[in-house]
């Protein structure tokens, strides 16, 4: 799981152009939206694309998003359980 979390942090930094940020700057449990990284709705769409492109996961229920994208850790948990590749 630790390896997946680091990989995911690097992917998030890359896809969201988080300039000057390193994986260690993102706490596993820090909120991705609002207070934490301060991501916006377009970033949320990019994360949905990232999950599909890199892990083969299609989010069918939009209501799931809030819980899945709460933090890097919750994303990694969901990916671990649902990844296609």
Partner 1 sequence: MSVIRKYCCIHAGKCFLDGALLFQSEQEKAKEFLAELYREIKPGYPKFFKMDVLAKAGFLAAELLMKGTEPVDDRKTGLFFANACSCLDTDRHYQDTIGEAYFPSPSVFVYTLPNIVLGEICIRHRIFGENTFFVAPEFPVSQLRRYTEQVFADSGLERALVGWLECEGNTCEVMALLVEKQGEGIEFTDENINRLKR
Residue 81 structure tokens: 């359980």
Residues 13-72 close enough to bind partner 1 by CB under 8 A: 16-19, 42-43, 45-46, 49, 52-53
| Distance of alpha carbon 6 from the chain centroid | 11
Can residue 77 be called a binding residue for partner 1 (CB under 8 A)?
no
- Nearer CB in complex with partner 1: 1/66: 66
Shortest CB 84 distance to partner 1, Å: 14
Cβ distance to partner 1 smaller for residue 1 or 38: 38
Assess contact for 11 and 51: CB atoms under 8 A: no
For residue 64, is it left (φ>0), alpha (ψ between -120 and 50) or beta?
alpha
């Amino acid at each position: 799981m630790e390896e997946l979390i680091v990989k995911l942090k690097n992917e998030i930094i890359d896809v969201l152009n988080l300039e000057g940020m390193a994986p260690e700057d993102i706490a596993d449990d820090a909120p991705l939206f609002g207070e934490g990284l301060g991501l916006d709705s377009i970033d949320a769409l990019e994360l949905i694309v990232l999950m599909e492109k890199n892990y083969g996961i299609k989010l069918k229920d939009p209501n799931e998003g809030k819980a899945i994208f709460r933090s890097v850790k919750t994303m990694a948990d969901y990916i671990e359980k649902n990844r296609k590749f």
